[in-house]
Amino acid sequence: MKLSAFGKKFTSESGILKLMDDLGNALAGDKDMIMMGGGNPGHVPEIEDALKKRLEKIVLNHDQFRRLTGIYDPPQGEKEFVKELASMLNKEFSWNLTEKNIALTNGSQSSFFLLFNMFAGQMEDSTKKKVLLPLAPEYIGYADAGLCDDFFVSFKPKIDFLENRTFKYRVDFDSLEITDEVGAICVSRPTNPTGNVITDEEVKKLCELAQKHDIPFILDNAYGTPFPDIIFTQAKPFFEKNMILCMSLSKFGLPAARTGIIIADEEIIKAVSGINAIVNLAPGSFGPMMALDLIKNNEINAFSTNVIKPYYHNKAKAAVELFHKELEGTNYYIHKPEGAIFLWLWFKDLKITTYELYERLKDRGVIVVPGKYFFPGINDESWVHRNECIRVTYSQEVEKVKKGIKIIGEEVRKGYY
């Protein structure tokens, strides 16, 4: 039996496919693993309580329960949720949206698979387009989303060294080049894996560059503002006509509900809805129904700013302090934690690669993600920085995070000898 090129792509041993399989095998073993590599959000008590109350309300209301479990939504997504979300965003930010500007997907990963392949790959005129990532490292989930090879073009960042062994990546606009082969620009804010938040000025400049070249600017806002607002620095919500803004309910506390949100021009939303109809028939109802009241009364933004943001900010500060303690005396740097739920660590001049470090940590029951997976579109093997970094999450239970950081410190020290 022969597979098509499409089928073979998803049996390959590259990128996120290999890593997820590897992590799954590790977790299926007998050892009690400390998961500091995944993107699962923490369990915030106040958010869980609010969602429980909402679910109880749905279960006790016959019509709402039937909508949740017994009726297909339109391919665009749950109608009332889409309507209320457009209304809330217009009221808060004057974005002038209608219901025709929003579509839902079964998770952000689905959103990016659809969008990337709508604007890049093999085009109708037989040309080939790519997605430009202006700032690598970038989200690991992008890497295998293209349906053809050589799908991304990326640029190395400028690196600013800051106080107390921290640093920050910045877009290198002097090196950034947008050629005719670029079909879209995409950046995450805050960035997974680094916790970097590109500035309002950088966002505006990238949007203007996309407009100048008549291509979309895709802003991945899965951790951003106004919800879940896991941003610890200054950042304003941003949307312009040539943009595609991608949001999610996962990091608000509904990762299992798989609800991606795409905000864009009507023509793009129509295309996304058409793909939904073919691939899924309809997006799931659970996430939109669970969040509906929170959107209606704008509690989703209040919860995000007053509960979720400080919850993760406090965890980030505690994790950074622990890493400073456990890594003291080594040549380490921590990317300034400005948002998301990760820390990005750079072990300069480490004598082993961070993939080898990952294997050693896995043997000791700690799962992290080696840096090499976060640089799609950069093929410069001489750039050792790619093999000197790891991503860790601090979102899990405090005692497990403490134990994991201690083990990471021990193995990093060994890696310098």
Q: Final residue of a domain: which of 253, 275, 299?
A: 299
φ/ψ of 212, rounded to 5, equals -60, -35
Count of domains observed in the chain? 2
Least confident among 77-81, 164-168, 413-417: 413-417
Mean pLDDT of the 78-99 span: 96
Say if residue 417's pLDDT is above 60.
yes
Shared domain for 36 and 165, answered yes or no, is: no
In a domain, 53, yes or no: no
Q: What is the pLDDT of residue 1?
A: 75
Integer-rounded Cα Rg, in Å, for the chain is 21
In a domain, 55, yes or no: no
In a domain, 54, yes or no: no
Mean pLDDT of the 34-46 span: 89
Q: What is the CATH number of the domain that holds 127?
A: 3.40.640.10
Shared domain for 253 and 327, answered yes or no, is: no
Mean pLDDT of the 409-416 span: 94
Q: What is the pLDDT of residue 27?
A: 59
Q: What is the pLDDT of residue 379?
A: 83
Shared domain for 28 and 161, answered yes or no, is: no
Mean pLDDT of the 126-137 span: 94
In a domain, 56, yes or no: no
Structural domain of 40: 5-46+303-415
Q: What is the pLDDT of residue 309?
A: 97
Q: What is the CATH number of the domain that holds 15?
A: 3.90.1150.10
In a domain, 278, yes or no: yes
Mean pLDDT of the 128-147 span: 93
Shared domain for 11 and 120, answered yes or no, is: no
Parallel, antiparallel or unpaired: strands 121-122 and 332-335: unpaired
Q: What is the pLDDT of residue 313?
A: 97
Q: What is the pLDDT of residue 262?
A: 98
Q: What is the pLDDT of residue 163?
A: 95
Shared domain for 313 and 380, answered yes or no, is: yes
Q: Final residue of a domain: which of 270, 299, 328?
A: 299
Q: What is the pLDDT of residue 338?
A: 97
In a domain, 194, yes or no: yes
Shared domain for 197 and 278, answered yes or no, is: yes
Length of the chain: 417
pLDDT, tens only, 265-308: 999 999 999 999 999 999 999 999 999 999 999 999 999 999 99
Shared domain for 30 and 95, answered yes or no, is: no
Q: What is the pLDDT of residue 4?
A: 76
Q: What is the pLDDT of residue 302?
A: 96
- 63 pLDDT band, cuts 50/70/90, is very high
Q: What is the pLDDT of residue 14?
A: 60
pLDDT, tens only, 314-353: 999 999 999 999 999 999 999 999 999 999 999 999 999 9
Percent of the chain with pLDDT over 70: 95
Shared domain for 292 and 371, answered yes or no, is: no
- 235 pLDDT band, cuts 50/70/90, is very high
Q: What is the pLDDT of residue 24?
A: 65
Parallel, antiparallel or unpaired: strands 121-122 and 243-248: unpaired
pLDDT, tens only, 361-376: 999 999 999 999 999 9
In a domain, 237, yes or no: yes
Shared domain for 215 and 343, answered yes or no, is: no
Q: What is the pLDDT of residue 26?
A: 61
Shared domain for 274 and 158, answered yes or no, is: yes
Q: What is the pLDDT of residue 18?
A: 64
- Rounded to two decimals, what is the model's pTM? 0.94
Shared domain for 76 and 24, answered yes or no, is: no
Shared domain for 182 and 110, answered yes or no, is: yes
Mean pLDDT of the 187-205 span: 96
Q: Final residue of a domain: which of 299, 324, 346?
A: 299
In a domain, 58, yes or no: no
- 129 pLDDT band, cuts 50/70/90, is very high
